[in-house]
Amino acid sequence: MSTGLIAVLVGLSLVDSTSFGTLLIPIWLLLAPGRVRAGRIAVYLGTVAAFYLVVGLALAAGAATTLTAARSLVTGVPETPLRVAQLATGIALVALSYWLEARIRRREDRSGRLQAWRARAVGDSGPAGARSLMVLAILASGIEVVTMLPYLAAIGLLTAAAPGPAVLGAALAVYCLVMVAPAVVLTALRIVWHSRVDPLLTRISSWFERNNAKAVGWTVGGIGIGVGVNAIINLAVQA
């Protein structure tokens, strides 16, 4: 893989690290009263990373087949219809960004239900607490499947580069590790300097709760604008 591709993948993974499941819930767990159970946070983040990796490998396997079929379909198709379809895709993504933002806001209105999850996850010293944490991780990641645009973009880039199954799997594994790295760092800081870090975690959590939906909307909308502008430029060049 080229250095440019690696840099793009790292950037996309860091964008994914700021999602509801990879940052907001870990911060929310860290803000629970009492001593931080590092093992419990590790269970949660490990489950999230494993879920993303399994989904990514499955999507990458399907993406390779889909990409090959798509290339065979567009061979010989005139450039103008393809660019018009690209423009329509960009407009659809912009429209999707508004829908996603509204959907996330509705979900946030029901976030009070997670209070019981946190009580079980960090308060139960038995295996039931760890199981609850794993369930929470799977639920959070599953909810975010529809909004994992950076991850889908990374899978598309890797599939297009055709690095081979072993390299592709390793790249996705590293992507998932980088994705949970900020939460790991915050956990370490919370354990070492809990009294100093708590105000920072509270501010990050409050900011994220206020801007999570808007951030997703802008991300998806930005991708749509980029796709649409590229199509318009190519259509203008042809004309």
For residue 170, give both structure tokens: 């390793």
Report if pTM > 0.95: no
CB atoms inside a 10 Å sphere around CB 127: 8
Note the pLDDT tens digit of each residue in 114-125. Answer: 455 565 566 555
Write down the pLDDT at residue 178: 93
Write down the pLDDT at residue 219: 59
Mean pLDDT by 10-residue block, N- to C-terminus, for the chain (239 residues)? 81 84 81 73 91 87 64 64 80 78 60 54 62 77 70 82 82 93 89 76 67 61 73 76
> Half-sphere exposure of residue 65, counting CA atoms within 13 Å on the CB side?
5
Note the pLDDT tens digit of each residue in 172-208. Answer: 999 999 999 999 998 888 888 777 777 777 776 666 6
Q: What is the DSSP string of 119-162?
A: HHHHH--SHHHHHHHHHHHHHHHHHGGGG-HHHHHHHHHHHHH-
Cβ atoms of 44 and 121 closer than 8 Å: yes
> Half-sphere exposure of residue 218, counting CA atoms within 13 Å on the CB side?
6
